[in-house]
Structure 1
Amino acid sequence: MKSNKLLMIMIIILVAIILVGAILFVVYMNANKDSVEKGPTIDEIVEASIDVPEIRTNLKDKHVVIMQMKLTTDSKEAAAELEKRLFQVNNIAIQELSDMELKDLEGSQGKEAFGNILKTKVNELMQDGEVTKVYLTAYISQ
């Protein structure tokens, strides 16, 4: 009788462990499936992007920077609006750069910080969507 009781407890514990494992497996697979499906394809990224022509301007410390950028947006409509707002993007970039020194743009962190500032300021203007990322495609400082 004791061995039947012990066997029954072991079976219940084993079933509980298998059930918890199955639930965790299903949750894990669904979480990974969602993260893979959410990302846009490279073609969608390119369609929702615009190229900013070369910007050549002086920095606060009298150095000169020359840069080109690609701005990605969250939709084709946002990219179309941003294309029309290129003069405003250039204006914001020049104003921000004129308040910076060359040391502010040094390294990847400096360039990333500039990109984040530009993205935030441009998004304040946007009505259809938003800028999701600023890529520097060319950068020269003198």
Structure 2
Amino acid sequence: MLIILVALTLVGVVAFVLINQYLYEPDPDAEPTIDEIIAQSFETKEITTNLLSNDYVRASFRIHVDSKSALTEVQKRDFQVNNIILRALSGKKASDLAGPKGIEAFENDIKVQINELMQEGEVIQVYTTTWVIQ
């Protein structure tokens, strides 16, 4: 009787472990935690450049990628990322970049252009961390 109880308990524990380990998959659509965002993001240096409207902008960005290999790649491509940002800014007027919608459109534009370069993963989001237009 004791052997049967031990065997049933052992089967139950093994089944529980297998179900939790192999059948439970994290939701891929779940929002990443702040720790995940920080661990998988690259902070650009502050960039200052002229705009098309003879104003100038000073900005920096945090680029959130989907994996560690993508983070390594974007860190290696920092000069290309800066080039993309500078070229995109130099073709904009201050009025194009004004307000939340202007910044959001610019972030999406940069995201698309960086993703065209990426071979190991992709950019999830570009966050503007510093922004001054004068």
Q: Classify the TM-score, shorter chain.
A: 0.7 to 0.9
- Structure 1 gaps, min length 5: 1-32
* Distance 1:84-1:34 versus aligned 2 partners, 3 A rule: closer
- What is the SS of the residue equivalent to 1:72? strand
Structure of higher CA gyration radius: 1
Amino acid at match of 1:111: I
What count of residue pairs does the alignment treat as equivalent? Answer: 109
Determine the structure 1 residue equivalent to 2:99: 107
Determine the structure 2 residue equivalent to 1:119: 111
Q: TM (normalized to structure 1)?
A: 0.73
Q: TM (normalized to structure 2)?
A: 0.77
Tell me if 1:81 matches 2:73.
Answer: yes
Listed as ranges, the matches of 1:51-70 within 5 Å are: 51-70=43-62
RMSD: 1.6
Describe the superposition over 1:27-63 as per-residue Cα deviations: whole angstroms up to 9, x where unpaired: xxxxxx948x833222111111000100100000110
| Structure 2 CA distance for aligned equivalents of residues 41 and 141 of structure 1 | 31
- What is the SS of the residue equivalent to 2:120? coil
Greater percentage in helix: 1
- What is the SS of the residue equivalent to 2:81? helix
Listed as ranges, the matches of 1:1-142 within 5 Å are: 34=27, 38-142=30-134
Amino acid at match of 2:128: L
| Structure 2 CA distance for aligned equivalents of residues 34 and 58 of structure 1 | 43
- Structure 2 gaps, min length 5: 1-25
